[in-house]
Amino acid sequence: MSEQRENVEEEEEEENNLQPGGDTAEQPPEGDREPGRDGDEEQADRSTTGESALTTGAVAADVLETAEEAETQADLPDDTEQLGEPQRRDHVGDSTATVKVVLVPGGHVMTVAFAIGLSVQELKLHLAAELRVPAEVLQISLDGRVVEQQRSLMELGVRPQGSTRMEMSSSDPTAHPLRPLRPPDHDNMPDVITVRVQTDEGVFQEVVVEIERPPQQKALLGGYRHRLTGAEYHHAAIQTLTKRRPHRGGAVFSRDTQTVDLKSQVQQCPVDVATQMTATGCYVSSMNDKLVAAHGGYITADEHHDTRLRAVIRLQSFTRRWLARQAVDRLRRDRDRRLAWQELQERRRREEKEEQLRNQRHRWLNPQRREDFNLLYRALETWRLEEEQRINSSLRGAERKAALCALLEKETQLIADIGRHRIAAHNHNYEQTVGNFLDKSAAPHRWRAADGRPLEMDTQHTVRARELRELYNNISRSSVSQEQRLHVIMTLKHTVKEHECQLTRDVVDLIDREMDLMTRGVKAASLEGLRKRISTLFLQYIKTPAFNPEVAKLLKAPQNPSQLKNIMFLCRGCHRYLLSSDFRPSASDCLSGRCCSCTELDNIARSREDFSRYKDILRRLRADEQRLNGEAKIPFLLQVEDLRYLVEVVWASRSALHASSDLYNLVFVRWERRTDWSPWNCILLSKEETSAHLEVEDVHKAYEATFILWIEHKHRLARRHFSQIPVMAEHLDPRPSTGKRTIDSLPASAR
């Protein structure tokens, strides 16, 4: 038996030394094992779904144990119940067997090395932990019959180092399906392999070896590689766990590490030296004596200290010169940086000014919006006033009247040209607005999922809106053949006839009229008005929520008539009841004044003012306050007319510091930087003056008393005007009343 064991060890050692590097792994360290569990329980808990590696370092010991168990099994009877000795029964119960569990209905096979002495209940608990399902829903069957939970594998006829095949299903497959959790890349590697070991001459035995997968790749510490095949062979030392030193039970310290190493060494001169002096009874010859005189002058202590002082002063002078150069270089860099910043700011202002002029010139040549035409009318009014002033100053009598008539005729012609451009721009904007409206109604519903991916969904309403949009685009086309036009209007006729109402009947009548005229050979130019009416009625059909439910969320006016009384107001100009969106809101005017159309018409006919510059000032003010204080309200309550009053009446359209009158270069900022902006806490400055004013911490120390009194007078004027507006009066902060002496002390220029 000892000879067989030695042979088995030698063969197993050779097999380990020649084992390829890709099929080797190492046992988990003893520190990673769970305390209180022996090796058999760890082996029973392993499965193919876990992460493990091939324990080739312990193969030799397993082979020896397997050989002994094989000899023991040869003497065991077939029936395990006939074992008479308890120790042998316990030893057989601790042996392992390969259990292959088939997951029903998936068909996936899980291979587990399990002790045959353990019960089926413990096997279910282990598999439930691997599959992450409750153990109560698992049912294990053998040969089509459900196995009792109290029976062990040995009672079911499983022999040591043998194998069996069982089926496992779930009693609740809907809530707890059986799915393996092991990654797919582990399926290609077996979990249990059978090794054929030679136990004697001509005698071989098959041993079951379990493979463990490590959680990380093992480092290659040494080995060999075949130059032809490329196979790697590892040293046996790196495949076996390192033998650990036994713990002595206490801390051990070395004396050498706690003691200072001292060494004493005597130094002795190689030659004895002595000095002999002339004394009584002793004569020393002076024939060989030499007189040594110092070359140069003798340096006194004061001279030595004076030399050191001059050297120190010289070092200090060089050091101070170096520090002065550093300070001058730093000042020069600061100056260059400041000049570069000033040049950058100046270039930015110049580019911004050029961009404003370029934008204004583009708006003059290509007007598209209402503000662009107001700019044209303002330029026309400026030109008319200049020409009228020139005529009145240079001409008299009949010549003056003739020149004024020619000026009126020229003005009328220019107004007509502006009107034609306005009609063309309105048509273009109308088509673009209708296209955007139809695209919004036909757009699918969009939202973001939990993982951030954008999702889209089409409903029956969006599909209906998309069909109506395509039909409207086909009807609005002008350059189509007669056959295509007939096909489109027939499709439109069948579409609108789905709903019976007066609108659909009008559309059908117009379609029949166009078809009749087309069959009579009428030209397309003559049918343009009729086709326009059909497109307008069909657009009204699309905007009806009963026919196109998707447009209900895009309509401004509510469809419930009972809600219209709250948003309908009477226009004093055209005497029509219009929606609140048709009126221009203002903090100082009542909402039920004149509508936007009447206000625009009055501006074109009389004042011809351009409010684009005030809009730019208000837009910049709101952006600055939104950046400084996200809860600012007063800048958003003001409208263009209110800001115009504040600029023109209160601040006289001039900068407070240098009296600049360029409205394109004026901005509103806070007077006291730590208080929110309001008409009574503001100052009108140019863009160049803004940066310097915002750096001021205390305005009462930075500006003179006369200037401060003049600014406070402006604030009182603004407070008096805006306090009459209820929505602005709510934000008035309580201020102590100023005496009359303070008002009277203002200079005449400030008043």
Residue-wise pLDDT for 238-248, tens only, equals: 666 666 777 76
pLDDT given at position 573: 81
Residue 436 and residue 445: Cα distance in Å, rounded? 16
- Do 676 and 632 touch, CB atoms closer than 8 A? yes
| Last residue within a domain, chosen from 239, 270, 300 | 239
Residue that wins the pLDDT comparison between 88 and 55: 88
Tell whether 328 is covered by a domain.
no
pLDDT tier at 60 (50, 70, 90 boundaries)? very low
Residue 222 and residue 739: Cα distance in Å, rounded? 98
Tell whether 258 is covered by a domain.
no
Q: The tokens 């209402």 sit on which residue?
A: 370
pLDDT tier at 705 (50, 70, 90 boundaries)? very high
Residues β-bridged to residue 595:
583
Span 538-546, average pLDDT: 90
What backbone torsions phi and psi does residue 75 show, to the nearest 5 degrees? -90, -10
Residues 549 and 649 in one domain: no
Residue 494 and residue 486: Cα distance in Å, rounded? 12
- Residue 51's domain comprises 2-239
Residues 75 and 176 in one domain: yes
Q: pLDDT for 336-352, tens place per residue?
A: 999 999 899 889 888 98
337's tokens? 């940086």
This prediction's pTM = 0.48
pLDDT given at position 84: 44
pLDDT given at position 212: 66
Residues 218 and 118 in one domain: yes
pLDDT given at position 585: 66
pLDDT given at position 253: 67
Residues 84 and 208 in one domain: yes
Residue that wins the pLDDT comparison between 684 and 103: 684
pLDDT given at position 403: 92
Q: pLDDT for 190-213, tens place per residue?
A: 667 777 888 888 788 877 777 666
- Judged by DSSP in three states, 146 sits in strand
- Do 5 and 64 touch, CB atoms closer than 8 A? yes
What backbone torsions phi and psi does residue 101 show, to the nearest 5 degrees? -110, 125
- Do 587 and 644 touch, CB atoms closer than 8 A? no
Query: Is the pLDDT assigned to residue 473 strictly greater than 70?
Result: yes
> Given the DSSP bridges, would you call strands 96-103 and 163-170 parallel, antiparallel or unpaired?
parallel
Residues β-bridged to residue 163:
98
pLDDT given at position 189: 59
Tell whether 571 is covered by a domain.
no
Span 371-394, average pLDDT: 90
Residues 158 and 14 in one domain: yes
Query: Is the pLDDT assigned to residue 120 strictly greater than 90?
Result: no
Residues 75 and 33 in one domain: yes
Residues 99 and 10 in one domain: yes
Residues 6+ apart with CB under 8 A from 346: none
Would you call 181 exposed, middle or buried from its count of C-beta atoms within 10 A (0-12, 13-18, 19+)? Answer: exposed
Residue that wins the pLDDT comparison between 693 and 140: 693
Residue 363 and residue 374: Cα distance in Å, rounded? 10
Residue 691 and residue 123: Cα distance in Å, rounded? 79
Span 686-699, average pLDDT: 88
Residues 158 and 204 in one domain: yes
Tell whether 65 is covered by a domain.
yes
Residues β-bridged to residue 455:
447
pLDDT tier at 521 (50, 70, 90 boundaries)? confident
Percent of the chain with pLDDT over 70: 75
Query: Is the pLDDT assigned to residue 311 strictly greater than 90?
Result: yes
**Residue 740, Cβ neighbours under 10 Å: how many?**
8
pLDDT given at position 682: 92
Tell whether 442 is covered by a domain.
no
Query: Is the pLDDT assigned to residue 64 strictly greater than 50?
Result: no
pLDDT given at position 538: 92
Residues 13 and 112 in one domain: yes
Residues 550 and 654 in one domain: no
| Last residue within a domain, chosen from 405, 437, 469 | 437
Tell whether 350 is covered by a domain.
no
420's tokens? 């034609």
Residue 496 and residue 489: Cα distance in Å, rounded? 11
Span 518-541, average pLDDT: 90
Percent of the chain with pLDDT over 90: 21
Residues 504 and 651 in one domain: no
Span 682-687, average pLDDT: 91
pLDDT given at position 366: 87
Tell whether 21 is covered by a domain.
yes
Query: Is the pLDDT assigned to residue 531 strictly greater than 70?
Result: yes
Residues 128 and 171 in one domain: yes
Query: Is the pLDDT assigned to residue 57 strictly greater than 70?
Result: no
* Number of domain units in the chain: 4
| Last residue within a domain, chosen from 239, 266, 284 | 239
Mean pLDDT over each residue of the chain, to the nearest integer: 77
- Phi-psi map region of 162: left, alpha, beta (phi>0 left; psi -120 to 50 alpha): beta
Residue 609 and residue 601: Cα distance in Å, rounded? 11
Most confident of 207-216, 235-244, 667-676: 667-676
Tell whether 401 is covered by a domain.
yes
pLDDT tier at 393 (50, 70, 90 boundaries)? very high
Distance from the Cα of residue 542 to its chain's centroid: 39
Q: pLDDT for 596-612, tens place per residue?
A: 888 888 888 888 888 88
Query: Is the pLDDT assigned to residue 214 strictly greater than 70?
Result: no
